[in-house]
Amino acid sequence: MSTAVVLVGPMGVGKTTIGKKLAKQLGKPFLDTDKEIVKQHGAISKIFEKSGEQHFRALESEFLLSAIASDSVVATGGGVVTQERNRDALKNQFVIYLSTNGRHMASRLLAGKRPLLKNGIADWKRIYEERKPLYEEVATVEIETSSKALNTVVLEIVELVNRRG
């Protein structure tokens, strides 16, 4: 098992924001699979448009496998769990599933360019319901984020990491 701490959960739940704060608290580098893909291949919406979702998922798998091999905090894209090879790889990791009741998601998703949310929050709800069992399958721990401040979530994860050794 690597020493990476991997964050999974639905789009907009705060994986990147929490991941950055968590990495700082733990003194580990922070890696965001979506940001790395954008850095090397351009906007995710353009990848979907030009090459399709399957191509994006292949890139995502490549970046995930590389990221989890390092001693870092890794924020994943919401759909990382849709690929069986990713789920298999995540089962040997320390994975935090950031869950939500969805109440605050509409406002968080307004500004984003998310190719799978053509119908806004309705698409988000449908996608989250489809993926929820997959997040649960790979999770070492689930943390419900809906009624907690970001810093509270970060401190909970720090405590879990420290207990883990």
- The domain ranges of the chain are 5-164
What is residue 105's predicted lDDT score, i.e. its pLDDT? Answer: 59
In this prediction, residues 144-148 reach a mean pLDDT of 87
Of 12 and 6, the one with more pLDDT:
6
Q: What is the CATH number of domain 5-164?
A: 3.40.50.300
Ramachandran quadrant class, 52 (left: phi over 0; alpha: psi -120 to 50; beta: rest): left
Percent of the chain clearing pLDDT 90 (strictly above): 65
Give residue-wise pLDDT tens across range 14-23: 899 999 999 9
The per-residue pLDDT for 11 is 82
Contacts 24+ apart (CB under 8 A), 139-143: 139/8, 139/95, 139/96, 139/97, 140/93, 140/94, 140/95, 140/96, 141/95, 141/96, 141/97, 142/96, 142/97, 142/99, 143/96, 143/97, 143/98, 143/99
Band (pLDDT 50/70/90 cuts) for residue 44 is confident
**Whole-number pLDDT of residue 165:** 67
**DSSP H helical ranges for 3-149:** 15-26, 33-41, 44-51, 53-67, 84-90, 105-109, 121-138
Please report how many Cα atoms fall inside a 13 Å half-sphere around the Cα of residue 40, on the Cβ side. 10
Task: Choose among 86, 82, 93, 96: nearest CA to 134.
Answer: 82
- Tell me, what's the pLDDT at 95? 97
Q: What pLDDT score was predicted for residue 108? A: 52
| Section 121-139 average pLDDT | 89
| pLDDT band of 125, cuts 50, 70, 90 | confident
